[in-house]
Structure 1
């Protein structure tokens, strides 16, 4: 099996069967149920599509993946760190992820990961109160959000206003059923798009995440 870098991001790799990988920042460490293997004397971790909305969005042709070595990332809803670990691989030791989660039990699952990864800081905070971590989180290159709340758009926009640099990027994973279980997801995603545009954000791409994540979409935005 051979790997080659994605044209959209040289630190994400694809094999001849279309599976995605990142180069393991911590050799020997598995974060979840992903496969780990060696290729050309380097270790790679499979980025499982059904375990990560970001990898699913890449597979669904979101296009540009503007996450680079050395980037600072604010991750809202980091949970157990599945997706964050792959972002950690991409940004390397010169980058940093500030991971916010409100659930102590879930955040404890992150501890074994960040014990060996110096580029992730886990913060027990409420992403609905972005001013509560101003003393820790600086301006960032990326805001990534995966928060299943009815007001998840408001959370995203407020955190962008506080933390995202000009010309920075945001990934918003929208779970339609968390916003309104009775409304057609297409209409919800249309409403989300309008909210982002009304906030003067440049929407670079919107992709639906089926069949990997039902009733989900990923929005990639740029802060003007």
Structure 2
């Protein structure tokens, strides 16, 4: 077990396979049947890149995410809490994750995850309407992470970044090209998203997520100070 270049993220080699892990803040408990690995008194959770776009981004060589111990993160589109739970591990008990989703089918599972993790709170709101939840979140946050499969993904992202993110803070956008326009090639969609983001933010990293997620990309940006 060794620390990666990114704070709070660990690596292990299993033959030729590289495995990502986070330190489990709820020892003995899993979120999505991930493997638990104990080393001394510390327990780690395997981070599956086929079930987490952030892990896929890291496996593709992403080297900046801006998420650190003690940080507050606004997670838009938390779904079942898979990736949000690993972010919860990274920020630790001194940090906090606001996990927002609007799909009734996922809220039950997300609620269970948040009940086990005292540094997570579920928010049942539409990410396209930040005015409705602005008073539920301690502002500004250190990081905004968004994985919302909507046609106007970039606009939703920028709206939330402007309202919640601290100057100089990191923000990450997972883009699903087919949710924006099924008639265009994903590469064309990603270029259009890049242009929109560059008008407001500094793009510090970008990766497509194949073979873990088809027609997806991750943009890592910083808000200008």
Give the alignment's TM-score, normalised by structure 2. Answer: 0.96
Determine helix, strand or coil for the equivalent of 2:50: helix
Q: Give the match for residue 2 of structure 2.
A: 4
Matched ranges for 1:90-129 at <5 A:
90-129=90-129
Matched, 1:14 2:11: yes
Determine helix, strand or coil for the equivalent of 1:154: helix
- Which deviations, in whole Å up to 9, do the C-alpha atoms of 1:72-129 show, x marking residues without a partner? 1000001110000000000011111111111122111112211110111101101000
Point out 4+ residue stretches in structure 1 off by more than 2 angstroms.
none
Structure 2 CA distance for aligned equivalents of residues 50 and 194 of structure 1: 28
Q: Give the match for residue 23 of structure 1.
A: 23
Determine helix, strand or coil for the equivalent of 2:123: strand
Structure 2 CA distance for aligned equivalents of residues 30 and 57 of structure 1: 22
Matched ranges for 1:15-94 at <5 A:
15-16=12-13, 17-94=17-94
Determine helix, strand or coil for the equivalent of 1:49: coil
User: Relative to structure 2, which stretch is displaced further, 212-221 or 62-71?
Assistant: 62-71
Structure 2 CA distance for aligned equivalents of residues 121 and 223 of structure 1: 24
Q: Give the match for residue 170 of structure 1.
A: 171
Structure 1 CA distance for aligned equivalents of residues 70 and 136 of structure 2: 18
Aligned residue pairs, count = 220
Structure 1 CA distance for aligned equivalents of residues 7 and 71 of structure 2: 14
Structure 2 CA distance for aligned equivalents of residues 61 and 77 of structure 1: 23
- Which deviations, in whole Å up to 9, do the C-alpha atoms of 1:40-70 show, x marking residues without a partner? 3211100001000000001111112311111
Structure 2 CA distance for aligned equivalents of residues 65 and 154 of structure 1: 21
Structure 2 CA distance for aligned equivalents of residues 65 and 39 of structure 1: 26
- Which deviations, in whole Å up to 9, do the C-alpha atoms of 1:132-172 show, x marking residues without a partner? 11111121010000000001111000000100000000110
Q: Give the match for residue 192 of structure 2.
A: 191
Which stretches in structure 1 are left out of the alignment for 5+ residues? none
